[in-house]
Amino acid sequence: MHNDIEKVLISEDDIAAKCAELGEQLTNDYDGKFPLAIGVLKGALPFMSDILRHINTHLEMDFMDVSSYGGQMRSSGEVKIEKDLDTKVEGRDLLIIEDIIDSGLTLSYLVDLFKYRKANSIKIVTLLDKPTGRTSHIKADIAGFEVPNEFVVGYGLDYQEKYRNLPYIGVLKPEIYSGK
């Protein structure tokens, strides 16, 4: 375990098993279709990479980068597009892949945007769900694990851009935030 981590919440093995399980479910959901899988950068990258290898249908991939946090630990409520899709979403079946839903502001913005762009269907899969943080009405169609109201890092999730490369989800030692 990394020295800055206080405890591991979700192990590498548990994440791998969950990706296989959810991937199988999505294989059934998209049977015979050609969905557009949209990864929300940067946090969703490891999860997207792992879950897509368990989805056994043709699919297309694209990425979107939005910011709402500005390096802070709480959502500012403002969502800004840093990188838009390269693909047209009109008439497409969209699978939005997220690392975590906290307030839900990022996803409610994206869902509204993709509805406006006339997507045929929109499904959300998130690795983590933090329901206690919710300030919007958004709900994941598929969620891997529920996490408590703690700031989590690892497997894509960062604190000041660090820890994204950890293979598990963990909680940082308090002294890391306080800078001591």
Active site residue 102: yes
* Active-site option among 29, 99, 102, 129: 102
Q: Contact with Mg ion (CB under 5 A): which of 43, 46, 144, 170?
A: 43
Q: Where does this chain touch ligand XMP (CB under 6 A) — which range of 9-17, 30-38, 49-57, 93-101?
A: 93-101
Compute the CA torsion angle 146, 149, 154, 159 (nearest 10 deg): 150
Instruction: Kindly state whether residue 99 participates in binding ligand XMP, applying the rule CB under 6 A.
Output: yes
Q: Contact with ligand XMP (CB under 6 A): which of 47, 103, 124, 170?
A: 103
Q: Taking Cα atoms as reference points, which of 125, 149, 148, 157 lies closest to residue 138?
A: 125
Under a CB-based contact definition with an 8 Å cutoff, are residues 130 and 21 in contact? Answer: no
Q: Give the residue with the Cβ less far from ligand XMP, 15 or 105.
A: 105
* Binding residues for ligand XMP, total number by CB under 6 A: 19
Q: Give the residue with the Cβ less far from ligand XMP, 13 or 65.
A: 65
The string of DSSP codes covering 61-121 is: EEEEEEESSTTSSS--S--EEEE--SS--TT-EEEEEEEEESSSHHHHHHHHHHHHTT-SE
Instruction: Kindly state whether residue 100 participates in binding ligand XMP, applying the rule CB under 6 A.
Output: yes
Q: Give the residue with the Cβ less far from ligand XMP, 50 or 106.
A: 106
Q: How far apart are CA 133 and CA 139, in angstroms?
A: 12
- At 156, which amino acid appears? G
Instruction: Kindly state whether residue 68 participates in binding ligand XMP, applying the rule CB under 6 A.
Output: yes
Which residue carries 């375990």 as its tokens?
A: 1
93 binds, among Mg ion, ligand XMP, none (CB under 5 to 8 A by kind): none
Under a CB-based contact definition with an 8 Å cutoff, are residues 140 and 108 in contact? Answer: no
Instruction: Kindly state whether residue 39 participates in binding Mg ion, applying the rule CB under 5 A.
Output: no
Residues with active-site annotation: 102
Residues that bind ligand XMP (CB under 6 A): 40, 43, 68-69, 75, 98-106, 151-153, 157-158
